[in-house]
Amino acid sequence: MIKESLTIFLVDFKNSFKDLLPIVIVVSFFQIVIIQTIPQNLLSIAIGLGIVALGLALFIRGLEIGIFPVGEGLARDFARKGSLFWLLTFSFLIGFATTIAEPALIAIANKAALISEGRIDAFYLRITVALSVGFAIALGAMRILLGHPIQYYIIGGYVLVVAITFIAPPEIVGLAYDSGGVTTSTVTVPLVAALGIGLSSSIKGRNPLIDGFGLIAFASLTPMIFVQVFGIIVYHFNDATAAQYVEVVAEGFTANVIGYEFSFSTLFFDLLDVAKDVLPIIAVIAFFQYIVIKRPIAHLPKIIVGIVLVILGLDAFIVGLELGLFPIGETIAYQLSTMNNVWLIYLFGFSIGFATTMAEPALMAIAYKASEISNGNINQKTLRIAVALGVAIGIALGCYRLVVGAPLHYYIIIGYSIVILMTYFAPKYIIPIAYDSGGVTTSTVTVPLVAALGLGLAEHIEGRSPLIDGFGLIAFASLFPMITVMGYGIIAKIVISRREL
């Protein structure tokens, strides 16, 4: 048993190194060829890379034996219990509790408060986003119960987002669009996916592949609506003179990058922070499992081991990034933003978007589940490449938008129009996965580097405002994967049709 587990872990560890290779290549190329300096902390980078690979291996194994089984088990229990009230309450609380403590959301909210000189309150912004995600998960669960096609909800939501954009203050639009991309965390995504798949598997007439996915798409869409409404209220009822935006170097995002200080106390407190982020999820699950459903969790020791592996893996993953890759990546982003060659900025945006997405743990979890449910018809690697290509195109185009100074919402409206058009041609089974892909691409790895690049460009390009122009790259990174994944589905459909002729 121990030998078998060790063999599986070594395979996961090897695959993790392969997934990280694109990031290493991109960072090395820009550091040595473009910036033309060799980093002094090469040993730190190498150690960080090893820790990241270890974290990924532990995380994936923990998902398979802990998070996925407990999420799907809860969904089946709710379906058997037949209580709509408790199912929707559980869905709302899972969305709210996991979002309010989301590190990426906290970082973005703090930066928004800093750059807006306090006009946008960080805490109220987080509450607004958390409420929107709770509402989204509950609405998504209701959709599965009713059996409605997801595209009607998503298209209606996009139309509402665009309509509100024309009356929302320009200071809030980019932040609102970005909020939709930072709400789905590395731990939340697998659990929410397991909830949707488990629920659709337990209801007669539902297809787990078509009906089970889509909850993450809801969680990425509703924050755009809620935050824009929040911005309208803030800027309408706040009579303060419009803030004079000053040049602010966001700590940890742009110029003065502080390296990770290794110590046992730091490791311990980092581990506690990760456990604290997971704790709300565990508390909600325990309450509903033992108080509402009144049934013990099956294979509890195995589930506990899985959750511990997820916590250890996620902590190691973050420590490894902070130790080696983030300092170098953020420094490159800052240095490129001060150079005169905009094509290097576009190239870096494309390359780092592709590389970081291929290493995104949340995407790995979704790709694994999609492949499993489709009996291998959806290839994990191909799906991840399609998503990564979408993120790469999105970030490069977002950088171009920022450089030329065009309004964000024009690009987003055109992008959503393409998504709506492709929805009518894409195979039904790929549509929910494509919509979910927009939410899983902006998580632990991608958000810090993308935010650093956006704020860095807005800081150093004349005539740009960090608040109005600095946000928005994450929105591009969330939008374009929907297009590339549906494109993958359409191409696969054509190839299969030709084979059958």
Tokens (6 digits) for 350: 């494309």
* Residues in Cβ contact with 57 at an 8 Å cutoff, skipping those fewer than 6 apart: 9, 12, 13, 15, 16, 313
Closest CA to 361 of 20, 108, 94: 20
Which H, E and C letters describe 252-318, residue by residue? Answer: CCCCCCCCCCCCHHHHHHHHHHHHHHHHHHHHHHHHHHHHHCCCCCCCHHHHHHHHHHHHHHHHHHH
How many C-beta neighbours within 10 Å does residue 272 have? Answer: 13
Domain total for the chain? Answer: 1
* Torsion over CA: 165, 167, 173, 176 (sign): negative
Q: How far apart are alpha carbons 452 and 94 in whole angstroms?
A: 29
Please list the pLDDT of the chain residue by residue as tens digits (501 residues).
567 767 777 877 777 777 777 777 887 888 888 877 776 677 777 788 788 888 878 887 887 788 778 877 887 787 777 778 888 998 898 888 878 766 667 767 877 887 777 788 888 998 999 999 999 999 999 998 888 888 889 889 988 988 898 888 888 888 888 887 777 666 667 778 888 888 888 887 788 888 888 888 888 889 999 999 999 998 877 654 444 433 433 344 443 444 455 566 777 777 887 787 778 878 888 888 888 888 888 888 888 888 888 888 878 877 877 776 666 666 776 677 677 788 888 998 899 889 888 877 778 878 888 888 887 778 888 999 999 999 999 999 988 988 888 888 788 889 888 998 999 889 888 888 898 887 777 665 666 667 767 777 777 777 777 767 777 788 888 889 999 999 998 988 888 778 776
**What H or E segment, with its residue span, contains residue 408?**
helix 408-423
Q: What is the pTM of this model?
A: 0.74
- Domain of 232? 2-500
